[in-house]
Chains A and B, each alone.
Chain A
């Protein structure tokens, strides 16, 4: 289960001068949609029909649903790029349905599929747009641009002065996110932001977003077609039918193990148990110790350790303590005592943030049935093997089943997150200045 995000209070967003860039950043604001309806002129029925939804401060909510179902329309009503036909929008309790939309949008980050970067402006100019519009000083804007580029993993020196067309699709998308976050808005709206990049880049960008959100605790509303993406990113997922009717609004775990109806099951697709593996990270399971030696150890020590080790195997680390080779008993003597030739190279490692699915993949490929886990700089921290994974999955599914049973007996509608009372941040940033 993702922990309930607790909004830190006293975030300084509205009071511009108080927060030096890089210091306190505005964490999320709660969003409440009340009976939102959008009827486009000329359409026979509404594209969004009477949607009521509560999005908690600091959580990531993902809308998934069929094409043309009204996800974009629903999302764009939050920053009023599309004016609702009826219904109200509240952000942090404040009714923003009638406030000046231009002011409203400056407090809501917006990132879209094609990155939406302005091709005639440099990366720095693109990112600086909103901070400038809300009146930040020149030097503060400049610092902020550097900070945002760092945040999304682009070297400011290299990328600041480039034009969007001089960037790869993935880099453009990163800049798009940096621009959306530049003025430190409490809310971030993202409409299929990673829809147009290749699967590997998309995976990286998703990881980055997770990391960002870990630091920033924004309220993120994210639209996607891709249920796997929804599982990976969402604290909660809203599965939407036609006209944005909510089919189920719950945690990924609950949707995977207990889909509300056939429509949702259809969306979850085959392999729910495998998808469940995407929801747990390596750091959540038991990481075992493994006997290690480093390339700098005297050969005699390595021989001795190999002889003494129970599993007949050692993990050889390089100078930076990164996993280098698996050494079995006998490997060394066969290679006539040369570490360079002995053993098998470590092909694959996983980080503590990798999903269990990644770990399983690596374990399945490895002929020893285990994978080394590494820390931030690639240094060895432990090993995960098949048995550990099996045990964890069993426990996980059991826990999910129990939870689902409780859910049912509590009689809660799927839309209402019963076990998480709605936390509102009283000191948080308000809508208009």
Chain B
């Protein structure tokens, strides 16, 4: 069976895996974005808190994903839980870092102007600082998504959902007739999903970055 025949045979399973993969990444990204921006907002004004948040987030990233999932399984069991936790944790770093850098990069005279015309602290943040920091935050989200696409494949190790299952099945039966097809289908599927998400982010950028600050 060549690769195309394999795809033709298994497309239903592959589509279901792809959908689950995308859905897991998407949901984890939503959580990571909310958490990441929140952490950024809470820490960017303080030198040490901001640095601590960034360092902690990069610390997590240095843990190999397989090891992290391995460590999570005894704590939360198999399946969705370790997958979600791992993905959210990995997704945090680029978002937290870019949120802090973006918020700190807002021209201080604009913050001064916002205060000066009588904006409350919350209004300054929501109406001025976050919109101006949004382009770098969005970049962080994009980078995080790309990363999670790959990392999500590892989740299959913990019986998580997604295209990783395809890859692991292939790897565990190396030498069998479909092994290569399985690895190839899983990998290509992930690459395709990543490209698709990226296209969506370009669109999101177009829609959400105000015209006045679009590059």
Listed in ascending order, the chain A residues whose CB lies under 8 Å from chain B are: 79, 81, 102-110, 112-114, 116-122, 129-130, 133, 163-165, 179-180, 189
Beyond A116-B109, A120-B212, whether A102 also contacts B116 by CB under 8 A is no
Chain B residues 183 to 212 lying within 8 A of chain A, measured CB to CB, are: 210-212
Residue in B closest to A123 when the chains form the complex, CB atoms? B212
CB-CB under 8 A for A163 and B211, given A105-B117, A110-B116, A119-B132? yes
Known contacts A112-B109, A116-B113; is-contact A106 B118 (Cβ 8 Å)? yes
| CB atoms of A102 and B119 under 8 A apart | yes
Q: Annotate B107-142 by CB proximity to A: 1 below 8 A, 0 otherwise.
A: 101101111111110010001100110000000000
Interface pairs (25), CB distance under 8 Å: A81-B116, A104-B118, A105-B115, A105-B118, A106-B117, A106-B118, A107-B118, A109-B117, A110-B113, A110-B117, A112-B113, A112-B116, A117-B113, A118-B114, A119-B132, A119-B213, A120-B131, A120-B212, A121-B212, A122-B212, A133-B119, A133-B123, A179-B117, A180-B117, A189-B116
Partner of A121, one of B107, B109, B115, B210: B210
- Contacts A81-B115, A129-B119 aside, 16 further interface pairs with beta carbons under 8 A come to A102-B119, A103-B118, A104-B118, A105-B115, A105-B118, A108-B118, A114-B109, A118-B113, A118-B127, A118-B132, A120-B210, A120-B213, A130-B118, A133-B117, A133-B119, A163-B212
Q: Which residues of B contact A104 (CB under 8 A)?
A: 118
Q: Is the CB of B132 within 8 A of A120?
A: yes
The residues of B with any CB-CB pair to A shorter than 8 Å are: 107, 109-110, 112-120, 123, 127-128, 131-132, 210-213
Question: Looking at the complex, which one of B112, B123, B132, B211 makes contact with A112 (CB distance below 8 Å)?
Answer: B112
Chain A neighbourhood of B115, CB < 8 A:
81, 105
Q: Is the CB of B212 within 8 A of A102?
A: no
Smallest beta-carbon distance B205→chain A, Å: 14
> B212 to A165, Cβ gap below 8 A?
yes
Measured in the bound complex, the distance between the Cα atoms of B4 and A96 in whole Å is 78
Q: How far is the CA of A119 from the CA of B118 in the complex (A)?
A: 18
Q: In the complex, are the beta carbons of A119 and B212 less than 8 A apart? A: yes
Is the CB–CB distance between B112 and A130 below 8 Å?
no
User: With A and B bound together, what is the CA distance between A117 and B113 in angstroms?
Assistant: 8
Q: Which residues of B contact A179 (CB under 8 A)?
A: 117
Distance in Å from the Cβ of A102 to the closest Cβ of chain B? 5
A105 to B113, CA, bound (A): 11
Nearest CB of B to A311, in Å: 56
Q: Which residue of B lies closest to A105 (CB)?
A: B118
From A79, A107, A118, A189, B110 is in contact (CB under 8 Å) with: A118
What residues on B are CB-neighbors of A117 within 8 Å? Answer: 113
**What's the least CB distance linking B120 to chain A, in Å?**
5
User: A81-B112, A114-B109, A118-B128 in contact; A129/B117 too (CB < 8 A)?
Assistant: yes
Give the residues in chain A near B114, CB-CB below 8 Å. 118
> Min CB distance, B71 to chain A, in Å?
43
Asked whether, in the complex, the Cβ of A130 is within 8 Å of the Cβ of B212, the reply is: no
Across the interface, which residues of A come within 8 angstroms of B107, CB to CB? 114
B171 to chain A, nearest CB (A): 48
Chain A residues with Cβ below 8 Å from B128 are: 118
With A and B bound together, what is the CA distance between A102 and B117 in angstroms? 8
Q: Which residue of A lies closest to B211 (CB)?
A: A163
- What residue of chain B has the Cβ atom nearest to residue A164's Cβ? B212
The 6 closest A-B pairs by CB, nearest first: A116-B113, A163-B212, A106-B118, A110-B116, A105-B118, A120-B210
Please measure, in the bound complex, the distance between the C-alpha atom of A165 and the C-alpha atom of B213, giving whole angstroms: 8
- Contact A102:B211 (CB < 8 A) given known A112-B113, A120-B132: no
CB proximity of A4 to chain B, nearest CB, Å: 29
CA distance A164 to B131 in the complex (A): 15
The answer to whether B113 and A102 touch across the interface, beta carbons within 8 angstroms, is no
CA distance A119 to B98 in the complex (A): 20
Task: Give the complex CA separation of A122 and B120 in angstroms.
Answer: 21
Q: Given the complex, which residues of A lie within 8 Å of B110, measured CB to CB?
A: 116, 118-119
**In angstroms, how far is the closest chain B Cβ from the Cβ of A77?**
12
Closest to B115 in A: A81
Q: Chain B residues near A102: list those with CB within 8 A.
A: 118-120
Taking the nearest CB of chain A, how far is it from the CB of B47, in angstroms?
A: 15
| Interface contact B117-A130, CB-CB below 8 Å | yes
Q: Please name all residues of chain A whose beta carbon is closer than 8 Å to the beta carbon of B211 when the two chains form the complex.
A: 163
Q: What residues of A have a CB within 8 angstroms of the CB of B112 in the complex?
A: 81, 112, 116
Chain A residues lying within 8 Å of B210, measured Cβ to Cβ, are: 120-121, 163
CA gap between A180 and B114 in the complex, in Å = 11
**Are A116 and B116 in contact, with the CB atoms below 8 A?**
yes
B102 to chain A, nearest CB (A): 13
Nearest Cβ on chain A to B127's Cβ, whole angstroms: 8
B212 to chain A: closest residue by CB: A163
Contacts of A112 in B (CB 8 A): 109, 112-113, 116
The smallest beta-carbon distance between B124 and chain A, in angstroms, is 10
Residues of A within 8 A of B131 (CB): 120
Cβ distance B20 to chain A, nearest Cβ, rounded Å: 37
B132 partner residues in chain A, CB cutoff 8 A: 118-120
Q: Determine the distance from Cα of A164 to Cα of B119 in the docked complex, in whole angstroms.
A: 20
- Specify which chain B residues have a CB less than 8 angstroms from the CB of A109 in the assembled complex: 117
A133 closest partner in B (C-beta)? B118
Complex contacts, A116 vs chain B, CB 8 Å: 109-110, 112-113, 116
Chain B residue numbers with a CB within 8 Å of A113 are 109
A113 to B108, CA, bound (A): 13
Bound CA span A130–B123, Å: 12
Residues of B within 8 A of A120 (CB): 131-132, 210, 212-213
